[in-house]
């Protein structure tokens, strides 16, 4: 005869114990892979300009470019831009000066072996000084030949030089008629800065000549971007 207490005890154990055929709990989801940390791109090019043997003021030409990997182009109907200053003089470094230009003027630099990827954390750094209401704005020429000018301007009149940076991916862009150096149309909705052919600056006002009045000085000009090789280019 089966003891009732034994039956009740066995039933209690069955009620508490999980069934042998119960499914194992699902594995914990794998932790999401963390994105790589953002890195600023390296120096793409730097230009500090090259003075002549006389260390005087003279029209800027291709010989004014000190970086052998760069080509400079001047734009505008009155593209008279001067080079002046002395190497090692912080008060008067070697620089381009727009005071004698009789029209809006632009200067662009082209790295001969690579396009520049100006997306993300790429940036432009320049050392400038202004007079009057003049301002300096960044310009780019895309790989498809489109010229654009950004909506960020540096232009506080000052007796000293100012080093400042611009992040191209933060800007809004207008099309630029590079022959006349004037803006056209409305802001461009989508701009692909992944392959930029030329980079530079524009002064949208004519110069006032020597002395206080209206002009732009541009000394060191640097671009931090990832290089994108040009098809067929060789060092």
Average pLDDT, the chain: 88
Model confidence pLDDT, tens digit, residues 52-92: 999 999 999 999 999 999 999 999 998 889 999 999 999 99
- Residue 58: partners with Cβ closer than 8 Å, 6 or more residues away: 52, 82, 83, 84
DSSP 144-180: TS-EEEES--B--B-SS-EEEEE-GGG--EEEEETTT
Quote the number of domains for the chain.
Answer: 1
Amino acid 21: pLDDT: 46
User: Residue 225 sits in a domain of what CATH number?
Assistant: 2.60.120.260
Supply the pTM of this predicted model: 0.83
Domain assignment of residue 67, yes or no:
yes
Structure-token pair, residue 44: 């793409």
Look at residue 31 and tell me if it is in a domain: no
Q: Is residue 13 part of a domain?
A: no
Closest CA to 212 of 49, 88, 99: 99
Residue span of the structural domain in which 121 resides:
43-229
Q: Which of 102, 24, 40, 79 is nearest to 200 (CA)?
A: 79
> What are the pLDDT digits (tens) for 2-45?
454 544 444 444 444 444 445 667 776 666 678 778 889 999 99
SS (H, E, C) 100-142: CCCCCEEEEEEECCEEEECCCCCEEEEEEEEECCCCEEEEEEE
Q: Is residue 5 part of a domain?
A: no
């Amino acid at each position: 005869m089966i003891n009732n207490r034994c039956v009740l005890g066995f039933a209690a154990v069955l009620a508490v114990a999980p069934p042998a055929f119960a499914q194992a709990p699902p594995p914990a989801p794998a932790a999401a892979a963390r994105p790589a940390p953002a890195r600023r791109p390296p120096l793409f090019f730097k230009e500090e300009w090259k003075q002549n043997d006389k260390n005087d003021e003279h029209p800027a030409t291709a010989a004014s470019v000190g970086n052998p990997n760069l080509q400079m182009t001047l734009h505008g109907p009155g593209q008279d831009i001067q080079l002046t200053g002395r190497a090692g003089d912080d008060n008067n470094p070697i620089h381009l000066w727009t005071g004698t230009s009789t029209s809006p003027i632009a200067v662009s630099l082209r790295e001969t072996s690579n396009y520049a990827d100006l997306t993300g954390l790429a940036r432009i750094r320049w050392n400038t000084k202004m007079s009057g209401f003049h301002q300096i704005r960044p310009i780019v020429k895309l790989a498809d030949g489109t010229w654009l000018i950004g909506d960020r301007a540096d232009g506080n009149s000052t007796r000293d030089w100012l080093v400042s940076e611009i992040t191209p991916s933060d800007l809004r862009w207008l099309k630029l008629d590079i022959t006349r150096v004037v803006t056209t149309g409305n802001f461009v909705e989508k701009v692909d800065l992944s392959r930029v052919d030329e980079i530079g600056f524009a002064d949208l006002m004519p110069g006032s000549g020597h002395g206080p009045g209206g002009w732009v000085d541009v000394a060191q000009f640097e671009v931090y971007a990832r290089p994108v090789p040009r098809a067929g280019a060789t060092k």
